[in-house]
Amino acid sequence: MLLHEVVGKLRQEVGEDVYADFYRPALQLLDRLVLADECAPFLTLPAYQLLP
């Protein structure tokens, strides 16, 4: 519940466009890393896929 509340406040502060472009992908990446069955050998490798 805490994450949901923080994300809601963040969306209000930065606006929907900025949230969708930057914060949503970052939160999705965090979810994948945290909820994965195995820890990624280098946590930055999945993030590189998000870079333009």
- The tens-digit pLDDT sequence of the chain (52 residues) is 688 899 999 999 999 999 999 999 999 999 999 999 998 888 889 899 888 8
Q: How many domains does the chain have?
A: 1
Phi-psi region of 15 (alpha: psi -120 to 50; beta: other; left: phi over 0): left
Nearest to 26 by CA among 47, 41, 9: 47
Residue 7's domain spans which residues?
A: 2-48
